Amino acid sequence: MSLWLAAGRIVSRDGVITDGAVRVEGDRIVEVGTRREVAPRPEDRVVSAPDGTLTAGLIDAHTHAAWAGSRHDEYAQRLVGADYEAIAAAGGGIVASMRAVREAPVEALVSALRARLSRMLRCGVTTVEVKSGYGLDEASERKQLEAIAEVARDPSLPSIVPTYLALHALPPERRGDRAGYVRDVATRWLPAIARAGLARYVDAYVDRAAFSVDEAREVLREARALGLGVRLHVGQFADVGGAELATELGAASADHLEHVSSPGADGLAQADVAAVMLPVASFTLGQAPPPIEVLRRAGVRLVVASDANPGTAPTESLPLALALAARSYGLSPRECLDGATIHAARALGLRDRGDITVGARADLVLWELPSEVALVQPWGAPPIHAVVHGGRVVADRG
């Protein structure tokens, strides 16, 4: 199977090619250049949008997309002044989603995730990181991860990077037994999940109303010893030292960072820990943006992700996150695109994608937009001409 794509603009790390073309053979990009340089061969399927823009497929590096249920009632309460942390302390929040996930059969989680991922694909997203974290006991976390593994086998959907979100909230049955819970996660559940090959990364939520640096260290050190990568939710509500822990552990990413100090940002840059910005979450929480200029000055790689989850980011649209990153966080259109392609790939340890270059995996989006700058307008679902995933056209404008 070979493919020839032509676009008014081809946007890669190297710059922009006007009136460009790309040839794909199998799942790889084999030629990139102007239309004159790269001619179609008779056997090629032709996909052409002379007024369109071709970018690498978008990569959503932080989602909780395997959820069940809905927390619209909590959102309605928050719209009239209720507080996210107070709702959680009263038994709602993450624990409300835990109840829905525990009740759901694995097939229901599979079909919810499948439907979300197919809508994400239509937003130009070809790789998605998906976390567990709403089971909060071994069987239910495994159920979520098994649902994720099942959906990951479908080549017509975005590729999945699975993450075991090991510390998210303390489940009600373990109240008063934090230390025992953290020990069970580190010494029993995590090794079993690693042995079963159900996760590539392990995540922990480090914050004032979540888990402490010491609790997260206990679990994430074990993750490292088992050969898994680590990523952290840090500084969403308060700076309790999460960025420093991410630096100490050589994490792949530190995510949220609404609250991070300047030395914290310097540490991330030195240890090459990506900062994952989640502007939909701070939008629904009515929060001020992270200190972008501090992160930029420190030289931290900025990633933008959707955070797709039922509580703080009920969305499936990475382009919406890019729009908010541009308008509310002040990221440039280029920073937004890089943050959802090249830097996102690197933050997920994926070397074969995130750019349009010979030899890269053919994950591409042909946008019906005259420029990549138009992508950061608040479309929600920007108009697409075609989405190519692993060399196959998996969505088109129809």
What is the binding site for ligand NIG (CB under 6 A)?
Answer: 93-94, 97, 205, 233, 236, 281, 307, 309-312
Integer Cα distance of 302 and 181 in angstroms: 33
Residues 6+ away with beta carbon under 8 Å from 276: 61, 62, 231, 253, 254, 255, 256, 257, 303, 304, 305, 347
In the list ligand NIG, Fe ion, none, the entry touching 236 (Cβ below 5 to 8 angstroms by class) is ligand NIG
In the list Fe ion, ligand NIG, none, the entry touching 47 (Cβ below 5 to 8 angstroms by class) is none
Nearest distance from C-beta of residue 203 to ligand NIG, angstroms: 9
Mark the segment that binds Fe ion (CB under 5 A) among 71-79, 194-202, 223-231, 304-312.
Answer: 304-312
Nearest distance from C-beta of residue 55 to Fe ion, angstroms: 25
Largest alpha-carbon pair distance within the chain? 69
* Residue 361 φ/ψ, nearest 5 degrees: -60, 140
**x/- site string to Fe ion, residues 261 to 300, per CB under 5 A?**
----------------------------------------
User: Residue number with the shortest CB distance to ligand NIG?
Assistant: 311
In the list ligand NIG, Fe ion, none, the entry touching 97 (Cβ below 5 to 8 angstroms by class) is ligand NIG
In the list ligand NIG, Fe ion, none, the entry touching 93 (Cβ below 5 to 8 angstroms by class) is ligand NIG
In the list Fe ion, ligand NIG, none, the entry touching 158 (Cβ below 5 to 8 angstroms by class) is none
Mark the segment that binds Fe ion (CB under 5 A) among 19-27, 34-42, 169-177, 302-310.
Answer: 302-310
Cβ closest to ligand NIG, residue 24 vs residue 182:
182
Cβ closest to Fe ion, residue 141 vs residue 307:
307
Cβ closest to Fe ion, residue 75 vs residue 357:
75
Integer Cα distance of 55 and 7 in angstroms: 10
Cβ closest to ligand NIG, residue 53 vs residue 144:
144
In the list Fe ion, ligand NIG, none, the entry touching 310 (Cβ below 5 to 8 angstroms by class) is ligand NIG
In the list ligand NIG, Fe ion, none, the entry touching 312 (Cβ below 5 to 8 angstroms by class) is ligand NIG
Nearest distance from C-beta of residue 312 to Fe ion, angstroms: 7
Cβ closest to Fe ion, residue 132 vs residue 212:
132
Cβ closest to ligand NIG, residue 163 vs residue 247:
163
Nearest distance from C-beta of residue 289 to ligand NIG, angstroms: 15
In the list Fe ion, ligand NIG, none, the entry touching 311 (Cβ below 5 to 8 angstroms by class) is ligand NIG
Nearest distance from C-beta of residue 348 to ligand NIG, angstroms: 16
Integer Cα distance of 331 and 333 in angstroms: 7
Q: Which of 207, 222, 266, 307 binds Fe ion (CB under 5 A)?
A: 307
* Binding positions for Fe ion, rule: CB under 5 A: 307
